[in-house]
Chain A
């Protein structure tokens, strides 16, 4: 199951003096839904172009099903792309668009008719086969583009920001459909997006990129719960950071000075030298806020004042100014019975978190 379909080893890409990708190492496993995630301009599309063959690497090696394909043109690669602009051929009917690949391969016209029908049924658009692309809505064109690609049974399907152009509701629906389709076909999907929510909800693995460098590769849970560095932590989800200085660490844990206090955490993985700076990352929903010090069960807590309260359905966001002047955000769940609604602006509260739920990151 862990067969590698595509691998990139030390791949760099330069346009003139401009370095776009810097030593990218990546192995894409057969049948997985892999997402390239990162801010716009970080090089996601460039990776797709290198895998598809529209661009060639400046250095490094790209393998497809084991063979080196560095300079191989796109028509020789068993890879298909779904373009962000769909790129359906405007002068052809939907049927001819989907039949384009098989016809080039010289498949019998009868077989093609069957295959196209199946491909269109798969995306639930068989009734539109005589239309022209411009007569279809954006979502429909999107599905035709997918049908046109998967009919060729590629080893890898590349999807570049495929859902970004769709409106919110359709996007949510297509996310589910795309995921189902991928399971059903068993084809490896490499999906590009800058939308972290989309990446977290659809992917088997996420590759998080920043400025042409891969920052972390992992499952959505790993990326969210154990970000490898500050770049990842800042990009994924909401985060509250506490600045801290290492006092000491031992096999029992680590002692830190933060918010004017010395606290002790049971983390033993972090081996920072005393005196070095660390950022303590806590997700807002992991912060616990109490109105009375006696309710705090953890060994440490920080006193602060509620500055603002935002109601958001089943949760409320509290903006709390700590004594140090540092303003943090905490998300509290509430049910009707609890008195979480009783927070008032100006009220004194105590903030803490369960020891071990934080992530310690080197302060770059």
Chain B
């Protein structure tokens, strides 16, 4: 009896989480343009998507931005996490506190703050301001992910390395980083996905020269959901799933 309840509960949760996406995927193959009724299978929306070079370019922009931002955030965040866990320095406690404040702070606040900063620095809004912003909001997530892993490492491992003659740098290179790698990858993925779907912060700090997908979709939807958007979102969803599964596999093999 309990078993049955548990299964039902689990199915319900999964259905609740994935029903909207499943409906979206179904509609992307629906030949009816405006209706919410099923009018037959079609690939037309995908075809017209492929012809819209504009949308393809914007999609590429988004991937490029997410890739660079995730990489930047991962480098800075991993270094910061190692510093926070391994070294004593002035203001360490304050930095830890600020980190969590940053994680919790609303996107609107973050967006406006960054905008004010860029304006004060007289920077033109565009690719660079977007990249800097996306790196900024990715960093705390990377730090938290990597710090979790460092905490679970046996501190004797780094002691053993220096005991056997490794300098600080050699310990980092040969022991700490290889062991942190799964967490670094997870951090990168998190930063990548966060960048891919950010609307609010990007809204404040982007310019007309460099358009990105989430903002474009957002503005398109205001004129009504077009079937092409369903198709685009389906592709994005499948890509995301693919990335998540391959990374899980990579990490799984490593452990």
Contacts of A152 in B (CB 8 A): 164-165
Query: Chain A: which residue is nearest B255 at the CB level?
Result: A90
- Per the bound structure, the CA–CA distance linking A98 and B147 in Å amounts to 28
Contacting residues of chain A (58-89) with chain B, CB-CB under 8 angstroms: 73-75, 79-81, 83-85, 87, 89
User: Which residue of A53, A75, A85, A101 contacts B156 across the interface (Cβ within 8 Å)?
Assistant: A85
Q: How far is the CA of A91 from the CA of B164 in the complex (A)?
A: 16
Measured CA separation A220–B64 after assembly (Å):
71
B153 to chain A: closest CB distance in Å? 9
A334 within 8 A of B: no
Contact of B164 among A84, A85, A148 (CB under 8 A): A148
B242 within 8 A of A: no
Interface string of B155-177 (1 = CB under 8 A from A): 01101111111110010001100
- Interface assignment of B37: CB less than 8 Å from any CB of chain A: no
Query: Count of chain A residues with Cβ under 8 Å from any Cβ of B?
Result: 23
Is A54 on the interface with B (CB-CB < 8 A)?
yes
A-B contact count (CB 8 A): 57
Residues of chain B contacted by A84 (CB below 8 angstroms): 156
Q: How far is the CA of A145 from the CA of B90 in the complex (A)?
A: 37
Contacts of A148 in B (CB 8 A): 164
| Chain B residues numbered 105-163 whose CB sits less than 8 Å from any CB in chain A | 154, 156-157, 159-163
Which of A80, A91, A105 touches B178 (beta carbons < 8 Å)? A91
Chain A residue numbers with a CB within 8 Å of B175 are 89
Query: Is B165 a contact partner of A105 (Cβ separation < 8 A)?
Result: yes
Task: Answer yes or no: B179 CB below 8 A from chain A CBs.
Answer: yes
Question: Which residue of chain B is the closest to A160 with respect to CB atoms?
Answer: B156
A71 to B: closest C-beta gap in Å: 14
Q: How far is the CB of A224 from chain B (nearest CB, A)?
A: 33
B253 to chain A, nearest CB (A): 12
Q: Least Cβ distance of A61 to chain B in Å?
A: 21
Cross-chain contact B162 with A73 (CB below 8 angstroms):
yes
Q: Is A302 an interface residue (CB 8 A)?
A: no
Assembled-state Cα–Cα distance A79/B179 (Å): 25
The one of A54, A80, A85, A105 in contact with B154, judged by C-beta atoms closer than 8 angstroms, is A85
When distances are taken between beta carbons in the complex, the residues of chain A under 8 Å from B164 are 75, 80, 100-101, 104, 148-149, 152
Contacting residue for B179 out of A81, A83, A91, A100, CB 8 A = A91
Could you say which residues of chain B place their CB within 8 Å of the CB of A54?
159, 163
B159:A74 contact, CB within 8 angstroms: yes
A52 in contact with B163 given A85-B154, A91-B178, A104-B170 (CB within 8 Å): yes
Contacts of A85 in B (CB 8 A): 154, 156
Contact of A90 among B162, B163, B166, B179 (CB under 8 A): B179
CB distance from B160 to the nearest CB of A (A): 4
Closest to B181 in A: A91
List 10 A-B pairs, minimum CB-CB distance, nearest first.
Answer: A87-B156, A87-B160, A101-B164, A74-B162, A104-B165, A83-B156, A91-B178, A75-B162, A75-B165, A81-B163
A: residues with CB less than 8 A from B are: 52-54, 73-75, 79-81, 83-85, 87, 89-91, 100-101, 104-105, 148-149, 152
A-B contact pairs, 13 of them (CB 8 A): A53-B162, A75-B165, A75-B167, A80-B164, A81-B159, A81-B160, A81-B163, A83-B160, A87-B154, A89-B160, A91-B178, A91-B254, A152-B164
Chain B residues with a Cβ under 8 A of chain A: 154, 156-157, 159-167, 170, 174-175, 178-179, 254
A84-B156, A100-B166, A101-B164 are known; give 17 further A-B pairs, CB within 8 A.
A52-B163, A53-B163, A54-B163, A74-B162, A74-B163, A75-B162, A75-B166, A81-B159, A83-B156, A87-B156, A87-B157, A89-B175, A91-B178, A100-B164, A104-B164, A105-B165, A152-B164
